[in-house]
Amino acid sequence: MVKSISNEGILSERDTPVLVITLRQSEKRNTLSLEKLVALSAEIESFANDTTLRVLVIKAEGPVFSAGHDLHEINNGTSNDHIKLFDQCAKTMEQIRATPKPIIASVNGLATAAGCQLVATCDIGIASSDSQFATPGVNIGLFCTMPGVALSRAIPQKKALDMMLTGEPINAEEAKSLGLISRVVPKNNLKDETLSLAHKIANSSPAVISMGKKAFYKQIELNIESAYDFAKDQMVKHLEHPDAKEGISAFINKRRPTWIE
């Protein structure tokens, strides 16, 4: 892999066509400071614009995936500082959803508050069996309202409120059963399973993946009648794409498809 390290402790590794970003400030529990969120946003933008990259993995070093925002930064900040922090957090999270390429959270350990929000925002989540997830802001007088935006769209509302009202963590198996993550693997297998998943997705047509991700997030915000109206139009549109024609022809003729990009 080709590696590069940002000033904010983010390690980027290119295993083309997969980019792996590692949060590597375990001594700070991989907190999402303003500077860290800005750096992460820049990495995501660079990934989105790089035509050689198709899938992004976000992971972390140490026993904590991310403890959320830096409470020392918050405690020492002004109201304007807080506005900048949460504006950037919202920008980064929405950027993950809007990026036309899949983004996978690979979690080992504890993901809390904005760290849990980051996992919930990613398109797919894979976690080691000893991982835990929590939104414990209520315990320190800071309700996890922003993490709740992503959490309530990933798991049932009553369970999301349960987590936010009690601050109690859930384990990886429960997180999977609720839909917060999609896969649970042994800790020793997490790296290999994550890369295997990323490369499997990267083998598909990038154009089809991009159209599909955009359409998925649009239709889930619609009522079911509107969602079907939108989806049927998208299916017709997608069938006109050269990669759809190539994929169908390859399947019928029992050969591997050759995507245009």
User: Residue 245's domain is classified under what CATH number?
Assistant: 1.10.12.10
Full strand arrangement of the beta sheet holding 2-5: 2-5, 10-15, 18-23, 55-60, 103-107, 124-128, 183-185
| 172 and 84 share one domain | yes
152 found inside a domain: yes
| 211 and 97 share one domain | no
User: Residue 119's domain is classified under what CATH number?
Assistant: 3.90.226.10
| 198 and 223 share one domain | no
Q: What is the mean pLDDT of the chain?
A: 95
What token pair was written down for 150? 């992503």
| 196 and 210 share one domain | no
261 found inside a domain: no
What token pair was written down for 44? 């995501």
| 121 and 233 share one domain | no
| 182 and 57 share one domain | yes
Closest C-alpha among 5, 89, 56 to residue 213: 56
| 181 and 127 share one domain | yes
138 found inside a domain: yes
Query: Nearest 5°: phi and psi at 244?
Result: -70, -45
| 193 and 122 share one domain | yes
Cβ atoms within 10 Å, residue 172: 23
Low-confidence ranges of the chain (pLDDT < 50): none
pLDDT at residue 9, rounded to an integer: 83
Which of 165, 183, 202 finishes a domain?
202
How many separate domains does the chain show? 2
259 found inside a domain: no
pLDDT at residue 3, rounded to an integer: 63
pLDDT at residue 5, rounded to an integer: 56
pLDDT at residue 138, rounded to an integer: 96
Instruction: Return d(Cα 119, Cα 155) in angstroms, integer.
Output: 12
Host domain of residue 150: 2-202
Please write the tens of the pLDDT for every residue from 233-242. Answer: 999 999 999 9
Which of 202, 218, 242 finishes a domain?
202
258 found inside a domain: no
pLDDT at residue 184, rounded to an integer: 98
| 150 and 238 share one domain | no
pLDDT at residue 13, rounded to an integer: 94
| 231 and 148 share one domain | no
260 found inside a domain: no
| 55 and 98 share one domain | yes
pLDDT at residue 1, rounded to an integer: 67
Please write the tens of the pLDDT for every residue from 123-143. Answer: 999 999 999 999 999 999 999
Cβ distance 96 to 122 under 8 Å? yes
257 found inside a domain: no
124 found inside a domain: yes
Which of 163, 180, 202 finishes a domain?
202
